[in-house]
């Protein structure tokens, strides 16, 4: 694969590779930039609303909601410091050599954080549902704080590796690709997305898959024993886990085709598929905008808190969605959060 093909494909994933790798004349504000702004601004708004609800609503001030608060912060950064300057306000990025050089790594940094947050949430719910008593000991404020700090620091180190090794910053020059060491550039992207994208996704799938397998086995056992209340509890937890899997599933559906398509074109560049690839990028980058909406809809306390904030007088009377809740006779005493 020649350098020009590599540049073009790489630029569609997380980087902007300019033909001369230097700051050039700012382009006009065209339709593509408007589309990115339409995506970025709602992303900032939806995540800001969810973050505000978690911080200022008493019912949401729970340790486990720290995961979603942290992810909302990522969503705000995604819209404000990546989508807007990197894709919409291109005039800005091309007149600031440092931000221009670091913008690809900001994309990698935030993408990995989003992925690791969802993986962490999946593992958290897996332990909470499969091992509820062990979860009580694990889900302390300290352990949750350590987990959140880890999923922020690890991506930061990974994102800065090129600047610390094979791609040095050049003063007054937008340097987003080391053309003299394309092997390192290729190996870096392959390693990052293989280890920190595909493996966490596999963990998510295994976590929810195992939840459904174990829950269905328990449900069958309770059906045989005609355990009325416990049977109802298991059914409700299966449905609640289904809600959680929808949130993660949307991420997989939006991002997996995009990243998989990248690797396909990375190995076998095909110009005729370039438009399809750009479309997949739009879809994938919309996920941080949709995630708070899904969470707010499926999470009972968040939905009620939002309705109160907008002045809905009957917010206290709203009922959980009819398909079940995590808060039930089996787990309510363990401080579980209601999902429905």
Of the candidates 314, 306, 248, 317, the one whose C-alpha atom is nearest the C-alpha of residue 54 is: 306
Strand, helix or coil at 170?
strand
Of the candidates 158, 160, 165, the one whose C-alpha atom is nearest the C-alpha of residue 190 is: 158
Determine phi and psi for 170, rounding to 5 degrees: -115, 125
Tokens of 169: 């910053």
d(CA 183, CA 189) in angstroms, rounded, equals 10
Tokens of 337: 């959060």
3-state SS, 171-204, equals: CCECCCCCCCCHHHHHHHHHHHHHHHHHHHHHHH
Of 12 and 185, the one with more pLDDT: 185
pLDDT attached to residue 36: 94
**Which residues 6+ apart lie within 8 Å of 69 measured at CB?**
50, 51, 54, 55
Tokens of 58: 């008493």
Output the CA torsion 15→18→19→25 (10° steps): 170
- Residue 250: CB atoms within 10 Å: 16
- The winner for highest mean pLDDT among 60-69, 122-131, 194-203, 219-228 is 194-203
- Structure confidence by residue, pLDDT tens digits, 67-86: 999 999 999 999 999 999 98
d(CA 259, CA 277) in angstroms, rounded, equals 9
Residue 323's pLDDT band (cuts 50, 70, 90): very low
Of the candidates 294, 289, 280, the one whose C-alpha atom is nearest the C-alpha of residue 84 is: 289
Determine phi and psi for 18, rounding to 5 degrees: -80, 155
Q: Please determine, for residue 52, whether its predicted confidence score (pLDDT) is greater than 80.
A: yes
d(CA 261, CA 263) in angstroms, rounded, equals 5
Do 222 and 231 touch, CB atoms closer than 8 A? yes
Strand, helix or coil at 78?
helix
- Structure confidence by residue, pLDDT tens digits, 119-176: 998 888 888 878 878 888 888 889 999 999 999 999 999 999 999 999 988 888 888 8
Do 64 and 338 touch, CB atoms closer than 8 A? no
Annotated domain spans of the chain: 3-334
Of 247 and 329, the one with more pLDDT: 247
* End-to-end C-alpha distance for the chain, whole angstroms: 50
pLDDT attached to residue 75: 97
Of the candidates 21, 23, 11, 36, the one whose C-alpha atom is nearest the C-alpha of residue 189 is: 11
Q: How far is CA 162 from the centre of its chain?
A: 23
Residue 319's pLDDT band (cuts 50, 70, 90): low
- Structure confidence by residue, pLDDT tens digits, 79-111: 999 999 988 888 777 778 888 889 889 999 999
DSSP state of 271: G
- Assign domain 3-334 to its CATH architecture: Up-down Bundle (1.20)
- Residue 58: CB atoms within 10 Å: 8
- Find tokens 């922020």 and name the residue: 152
pLDDT attached to residue 12: 45
Q: Please determine, for residue 117, whether its predicted confidence score (pLDDT) is greater than 60.
A: yes
């Amino acid at each position: 694969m020649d350098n020009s093909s590599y540049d073009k494909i790489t630029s569609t994933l997380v980087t902007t590779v300019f033909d001369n790798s230097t700051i050039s004349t700012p382009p006009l504000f065209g339709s593509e930039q408007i589309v990115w702004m339409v995506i970025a601004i709602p992303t900032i708004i939806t995540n800001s609303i969810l973050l505000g609800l978690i911080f200022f609503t008493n019912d949401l001030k729970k340790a486990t909601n720290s995961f979603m608060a942290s992810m909302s912060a990522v969503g705000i950064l995604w819209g404000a410091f990546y989508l807007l300057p990197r894709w919409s306000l291109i005039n800005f990025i091309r007149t600031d050599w440092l931000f221009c050089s670091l913008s690809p790594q900001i994309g990698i940094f935030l993408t990995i954080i989003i992925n690791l947050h969802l993986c962490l949430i999946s593992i958290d719910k897996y332990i909470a549902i499969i091992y509820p008593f062990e979860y009580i000991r694990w889900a302390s404020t300290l352990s949750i704080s350590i987990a959140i700090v880890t999923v922020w620091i690890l991506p930061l180190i990974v994102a800065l590796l090129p600047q610390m090794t094979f791609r040095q910053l050049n003063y007054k020059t937008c340097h987003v690709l080391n053309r003299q060491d394309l092997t390192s550039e290729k190996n870096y992207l392959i390693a990052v997305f293989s280890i920190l994208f595909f493996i966490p996704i596999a963990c998510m799938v295994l976590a929810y898959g195992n939840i459904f397998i174990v829950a269905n086995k328990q449900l069958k056992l309770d059906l045989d024993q005609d355990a009325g209340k416990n049977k109802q509890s298991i059914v409700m937890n299966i449905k609640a886990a289904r809600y959680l899997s929808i949130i993660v599933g949307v991420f997989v559906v939006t991002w997996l085709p995009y990243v998989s398509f990248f690797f396909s074109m990375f190995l076998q560049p095909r110009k005729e598929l370039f438009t399809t690839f750009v479309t997949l990028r739009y879809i994938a980058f919309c996920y941080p905008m949709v995630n708070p909406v899904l969470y707010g809809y499926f999470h009972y306390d968040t939905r009620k808190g939002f309705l109160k904030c907008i002045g809905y007088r009957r917010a206290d009377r709203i009922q959980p969605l009819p398909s079940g809740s995590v808060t039930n006779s089996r787990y309510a005493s363990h401080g579980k959060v209601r999902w429905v």
